[in-house]
């Protein structure tokens, strides 16, 4: 008989030899796997890998904003949290500059208008990236951002058809 546990769950009954029952694994049939490459193709695959490897090698790992984001989550007071979050912003901006997608931009934090907060003013990066888009139809679309950035109404977030309608108006697709 199953016995109740302190957390409310029920343990599986023990077998006679005092071990818990285990799920059995299905064994594969003997022979080559159906998705395995043909053995004669192995030299050609290796040659292809040697040719493609330099181009497919991922870039060297940089620390990026992860340590700063972890420090942001671990911060216990608002001032430290803001400093760590700005460190993450600056790290992301430096990463943007090293990718050379646009001309280098100043990656330092700055005041948020007349308020006592520090921000990156990331719209500078969005504008610079927008100028690199070659398709005029795509480049001319407005930079609306996510719905949370331009709508301050929590009721709107629960109405997808209203969001689509507002997006159509912002992008000029409303008819």
- Reported confidence tier of residue 173, pLDDT bands at 50, 70, 90: confident
The 10s digit of each residue's pLDDT in 8-25 is: 555 656 556 666 556 556
Tokens of 153: 């109404």
Point out which residues pair with 111 in neighbouring strands: 118
Let me know: does 107 contact 97? Beta carbons within 8 Å.
yes
The 10s digit of each residue's pLDDT in 83-106 is: 999 999 999 999 999 999 999 999
**Cα(6)–Cα(28) distance, rounded to whole angstroms?**
40
pLDDT of the residue at 36 = 56
Give the mean pLDDT of 75-82. Answer: 92
Percentage of the chain modeled with pLDDT above 70: 63
pLDDT of the residue at 140 = 84
Percentage of the chain modeled with pLDDT above 90: 31
**Cα(171)–Cα(73) distance, rounded to whole angstroms?**
36
Please report the beta strands in the chain, taking only residues with DSSP state E, as ranges in sequence order: 110-111, 118-119
Let me know: does 89 contact 117? Beta carbons within 8 Å.
no
Domain limits, the chain: 66-140, 144-175
Residue 134 has pLDDT above 60, yes or no: yes
**What are the C-alpha distances in Å from 74 to residues 82, 85, 113, 146?**
12, 11, 27, 27
- Reported confidence tier of residue 45, pLDDT bands at 50, 70, 90: low
More confident residue, 91 or 47: 91
Which of these ranges, 39-53, 87-101, 125-139, has the smallest mean pLDDT? 39-53
Q: Supply the pTM of this predicted model.
A: 0.54
What is the number of residues in the chain?
A: 175
**What are the C-alpha distances in Å from 36 to residues 29, 33, 53, 128, 151?**
14, 5, 21, 46, 52
């Amino acid at each position: 008989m199953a016995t109740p546990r302190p957390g409310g769950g029920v343990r599986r009954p023990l077998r006679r030899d005092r071990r818990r029952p285990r799920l059995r694994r299905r064994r594969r049939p003997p022979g080559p796997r159906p998705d395995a490459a043909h053995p004669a193709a192995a030299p050609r695959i290796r040659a292809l890998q040697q040719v493609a490897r330099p181009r497919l090698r991922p870039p060297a790992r940089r620390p990026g904003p992860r340590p700063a984001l972890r420090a942001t989550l671990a911060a216990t007071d608002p001032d430290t949290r803001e400093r760590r979050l700005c460190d993450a912003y600056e790290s992301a901006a430096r990463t943007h500059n090293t990718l050379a997608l646009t001309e280098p931009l100043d990656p330092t934090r700055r005041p948020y208008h007349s308020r006592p907060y520090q921000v990156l003013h990331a719209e500078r990066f969005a504008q610079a990236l927008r100028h690199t888009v070659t398709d005029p139809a795509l480049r001319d679309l407005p930079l609306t951002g996510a719905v949370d950035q331009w709508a301050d109404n929590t009721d709107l977030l629960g109405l997808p058809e209203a969001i689509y309608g507002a997006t159509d108006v912002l992008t000029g697709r409303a008819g």
